[in-house]
Structure 1
Amino acid sequence: MKNFRNITLAFFALISLNSCSNDDADGQPAAVSGTTQITFDSKVGAADFALNTPFTISGQSYQFDRLRYWVSDVKLVSDKNETYALSNSFFLLEETTEIKVQDGKYTYPAQKREAIDLKDIPSGSYTKLIFSVGVDAIHNDNMSIQDGELSQLNGMTNISWMWHTSYIFSSLTGKNMTPATPVAIAVETGLNTNYRTVEITLPSALVISAGKSSKLNLNVDVEKIVKDIDLVASPKISAKTPELMTKVADNYKNTVFTVKSIE
């Protein structure tokens, strides 16, 4: 009888231990997490974006060889108004030909990257996506802090007197092919004042749960990057044209990104 009682007690202890293992430190059920992918599908109006392909913008024919921008500080907001922030989230979205870095000592290869994968997200229904275009002041002012994908070897840094001084937040380069002699264009943003946060309210909930793959597809309209900007008069936009750079940064915040679909 004594042995039976000991076996019974051990049995219930095992059940209790197993139950506790599925709870967190407060005795509450452990949160179940899932994954999702966010795609950034580049377009020029309704056409798919491609390098070295003619596109008409404001009556001019352009061919691009580079589209690059930092997506950082990614957050998802649930239908319960709870915010999940992805730590160390610095992603370089790009479609580019190869780039010579450090006076040609290093070559950054041609790349195409239009998606980021988010892991270990608490299960739930998410109704808003928040992210920033650029690099926050802490990292931008101290390039020795290289979280996420930040690096000085990707050709997205400004160099002054042989020193890397800050990050380029976004870069769109190519040529205006309309003139008899094509004109090079370069549309860049940078500087802490042009760090922009994008907030997108989703038309339907993005549902994330364990064992289920979900996907949020965004349109990225390259034509909207240069909205209300005369590239004929100002083919080079940089820190030397601060008002135009700010206008480009505002375009990224307000008009460039829209929801394509939720899967």
Structure 2
Amino acid sequence: MEEVLLNTFIQMKNLIKKYTLLAFVFAAIVSCEKTDVIGPDEKGTLVLEFDNRVDMDEIKLNSTVYTNQDTKESFTISTLNYFISNITLTKANGETVPIDDQYFLVREADQASQKISLTDIQAADYTKVSFTIGVDSLKSISEVGARKGVLDPASYGDDNMYWSWNMGYIFFKIEGKSSVVTNNAENKFEYHIGGFGGKDAVTPNNLKTISLDLQTQAKVRQSDESTVHVIFDVNKVFTGSKQITLTSNPQIHSPKVAIDVANNYVNGFFVDHVHN
């Protein structure tokens, strides 16, 4: 009799453990479902992280020698900057969310600038992000006193990103050295790309908009930050859609070459992954 009671007690104890475990699992599932319910006024943060590379190699300024396998030219990089503006996010339902009047300058020399935090974003599942490389014409010709943050030419110090001679920003800048450059004693190359159409003088319009699909949805929620990791491959500057060599073009003196470079580098941006 005692043995029967003992076995019954053990069976009851095991059942209690099983039901307790099931209760915890159910509670966890319900909890997850609750946190994924989006409130009508819920806001969150989306981070765009720009990771500049040569192919998939990390950039080390003024030291590492890189080789473009298409042009067979080797080079080092001393400066890499570009403006990001007119960011637009696309929800899973196709609705677009523009991030108006915000401008960012990504600088390889400044790690903090490579992470763009978009706050107070509508909580949603996002499937696409688009942005412009450059600064629109209205900001380019606006009164100097109205230019704040990265749009203030004085904020760059010696790293000038503005052309006063044609009232426009340098949208994209890459500088470095290469042994194939022989038109100056320091073997320096310089690519400065700008041009919004011009005001007092006509220039090409090199404003470029890039749209990137997110294979994994960016889930912006009030409680969690979502990060879109964007890689930019510098080698695409030279081989994105048309091959450009440092031997022939150590500096940009031709508007046509500037157009070719701008058309090239738009092919260098892609989404590596999304972290939710």
Which TM-score band applies after superposition, normalised by the shorter structure?
0.7 to 0.9
**What's 2:81 paired with?**
68
- Structure 1 gap ranges (5+): 1-28, 97-110
Computing the radius of gyration over CA atoms, which structure comes out larger, 1 or 2?
2
User: Percent identity among equivalent residues?
Assistant: 27
The CA distance in 2 between the partners of 1:83 and 1:142, in whole Å, is 27
- Decide whether the 8 Å contact of 1:131 with 1:197 is kept in 2: yes
- Decide whether the 8 Å contact of 1:189 with 1:249 is kept in 2: yes
Aligned AA for 1:130? S
Matched, 1:55 2:66: yes
Q: More strand by proportion, 1 or 2?
A: 1
**What's 2:16 paired with?**
none
C-alpha spacing 1:148/1:72, structure 2 compared with 1 (3 Å): farther
**What's 2:199 paired with?**
none
The CA distance in 2 between the partners of 1:30 and 1:63, in whole Å, is 50
Matched, 1:35 2:42: no
Residue 173 (structure 1) shift: 0.3
Q: Which moved more, 1:202-211 or 1:173-182?
A: 173-182
Tell me how many residue pairs correspond in the alignment: 215
- Structure 2 gap ranges (5+): 1-38, 197-204
**Where do 4+ consecutive residues of structure 1 move more than 2 Å?**
141-145, 177-182
Aligned residue for 2:100, secondary structure, equals coil
Residue 119 (structure 1) shift: 0.4
**What's 1:152 paired with?**
153
Superposition map of 1:98-117 within 5 A: 111-112=110-111, 113-117=113-117
What's the TM-score once normalised by structure 2's chain length? 0.73
Aligned AA for 1:174? G
Given the alignment, which residue of 231, 234, 257 partners 1:222?
Answer: 234
The CA distance in 1 between the partners of 2:135 and 2:150, in whole Å, is 11
Aligned AA for 1:67? L
Aligned AA for 1:215? T
Matched, 1:234 2:244: no
- Decide whether the 8 Å contact of 2:181 with 2:250 is kept in 1: no
Aligned residue for 1:86, secondary structure, equals strand
C-alpha spacing 1:120/1:156, structure 2 compared with 1 (3 Å): same
What's the TM-score once normalised by structure 1's chain length? 0.77
Provide the alpha-carbon RMSD of the alignment: 1.8
Aligned residue for 1:89, secondary structure, equals strand
